[in-house]
């Protein structure tokens, strides 16, 4: 009988192994208090390897920081000695189902899923606490006494001297300080673990409201990379608005989406149904469905005055409506410029080179007294 290892992976050890693979000369050993040897990374050597790109000390850099961030990262990497326990009595088709329903602390659940589902999940959706002041209770081990926290947060210096007005601190503590720091510590470790579960083409969706939407965006940008931000959707959740809002009754929330990597962006192109295609593109030829759009730029802020390369003439052949870029030898083709009825000299949306490449898709039509392409 195989014995089960009732402990989740140690991600600190995994990261050390990865660094050792990239920089073998930085791998070393250290002796623990109990006398055993453990693999470690020589950070002084690692700094030398990265010296040209290293940012350290007081040098300014772009980053998101808050009191408790280091502990949040450590918590995400730390293993736990727990396991999933099956509940056959409450299950449906336990032996044949392809679905799992987990109950318990979501941080523990994410860790327990790492070994079996690492890099295999296509879509993750999370609906974290919105941090409205009465829906968020966070009791993970981020303990620090008031003095240590105030020093980390810049309220007092190392000698205990007050750096900001204490009354303002007390009045503003629900919109700054630990109110946001605790929430960031909670979400950061869970985002890190969720990313581990995603496939290379995987996507994560997160619901949130205005209280933490900016912090969530910055934290997720750090975990997934800002280049993997997909979109932010504004959702109408209450047309009447929330009566308890202080200044204006908000009626919307947000949905943020991030991908694990570039592959996910291609998989998000959801094809239209045939009915949707027919509705959006009602005309049809040998190439398929299409619709006619005016080639002239309809925005009056653009024109010959600031887009001279987009101002040129087309020539229309009668009666076919065929469009050319040159006048014929007889000079019988109709010259069409992107000018407006009031004399404003506009411009086309295509440059001349693109127009030459796509000339077969253009047609000239008479609209009232004017010709349009």
Residue 89: count of CB within 10 angstroms of its CB: 6
* pLDDT value of position 262: 78
Contact 303, 344 (CB under 8 A): yes
Q: Where are the alpha helices (DSSP H) in the chain?
A: 11-22, 43-49, 69-77, 106-117, 146-152, 166-171, 178-197, 213-224, 262-267, 274-280, 352-357
| Highest mean pLDDT: which range of 143-147, 170-174, 196-200, 263-267 | 196-200
Quickly state the pLDDT bin for 191 (edges 50, 70, 90).
Answer: very high
pLDDT at 175 over 60: no
- 66-267 has which fold? Rossmann fold (3.40.50)
Cα–Cα distance, 366 to 373 (Å, whole number): 9
Would you say 6 and 15 are in contact if contact means Cβ atoms under 8 Å apart? no
pLDDT tens-place string over residues 206-239: 999 888 999 999 999 988 888 889 999 998 888 8
Q: Where are the domains of the chain?
A: 1-59, 66-267, 289-372
Surface-to-core class of residue 129, CB atoms within 10 Å of its CB (0-12 exposed, 13-18 middle, 19+ buried): middle
Q: Are strands 365-367 and 370-372 parallel, antiparallel or unpaired?
A: antiparallel
Q: Structure pTM?
A: 0.57
pLDDT at 16 over 80: yes
Residues 265-319 have pLDDT tens digits of 666 666 677 787 778 888 888 888 888 889 999 888 999 999 999 999 999 998 8
Q: Give the torsion sign (CA, 334, 336, 339, 341).
A: positive
Q: How high is the mean pLDDT of the chain? A: 80
Find the length of the chain: 373
Q: What is the pLDDT of residue 290?
A: 85
Locate 294 and state its tokens: 């005016």
213 by DSSP, 3-state: which?
helix
Instruction: Say if residue 172's pLDDT is above 60.
Output: no
Kindly report, residue by residue over 312-365, the tens digit of the pLDDT: 999 999 888 899 999 988 888 999 999 998 889 999 999 999 999 999 989 888
Q: Which residues have C-beta within 8 Å of that of residue 121, sequence separation ≥ 6? A: 197, 198, 199, 202
């Amino acid at each position: 009988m195989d014995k089960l290892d009732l402990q989740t992976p140690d991600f600190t050890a995994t990261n050390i192994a990865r660094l050792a693979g990239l920089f073998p000369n930085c791998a070393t050993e250290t002796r623990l208090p109990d006398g055993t040897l453990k693999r470690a990374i020589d950070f002084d050597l690692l700094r030398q390897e990265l010296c040209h790109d290293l940012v350290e000390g007081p040098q300014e850099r772009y980053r998101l920081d808050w009191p408790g961030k280091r502990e949040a990262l450590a918590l995400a990497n730390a293993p736990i000695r727990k396991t999933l326990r099956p509940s056959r009595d409450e299950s449906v088709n336990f032996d044949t189902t392809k679905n799992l329903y987990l109950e318990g602390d979501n941080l523990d659940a994410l860790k327990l899923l790492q070994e079996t589902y690492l890099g295999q999940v296509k879509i993750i959706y999370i609906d974290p606490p919105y941090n409205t002041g009465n829906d968020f209770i966070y009791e993970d081990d981020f303990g620090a006494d008031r003095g240590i926290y105030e020093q980390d947060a810049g309220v007092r210096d190392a000698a205990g001297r007050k750096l900001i007005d204490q009354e303002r601190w007390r009045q503003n503590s629900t919109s700054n300080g630990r109110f946001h720091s605790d929430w960031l510590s909670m979400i950061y470790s869970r985002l890190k673990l969720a990313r581990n579960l995603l496939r290379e083409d995987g996507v994560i969706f997160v619901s949130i409201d205005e209280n933490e939407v900016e912090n969530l965006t910055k934290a997720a940008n750090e975990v997934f990379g800002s280049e993997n931000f997909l979109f932010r959707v504004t959702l109408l959740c209450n047309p009447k608005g929330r009566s308890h809002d202080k200044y204006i009754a908000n009626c919307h929330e947000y949905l943020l989406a991030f991908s694990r990597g570039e592959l996910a962006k291609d998989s998000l192109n959801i094809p239209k149904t045939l009915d949707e295609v027919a509705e959006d593109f009602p005309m049809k030829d040998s190439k398929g469905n299409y619709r006619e759009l005016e080639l002239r730029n309809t925005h009056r802020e653009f024109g010959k005055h600031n887009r001279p390369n987009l101002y040129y003439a087309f020539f229309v052949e009668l009666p076919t409506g065929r469009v050319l870029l040159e006048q014929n030898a007889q000079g019988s083709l109709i010259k069409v410029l992107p000018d407006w009825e009031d004399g404003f000299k506009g411009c086309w949306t295509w440059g001349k080179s693109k127009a030459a490449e796509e000339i077969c898709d253009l047609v000239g039509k008479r609209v009232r007294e004017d010709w349009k392409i």
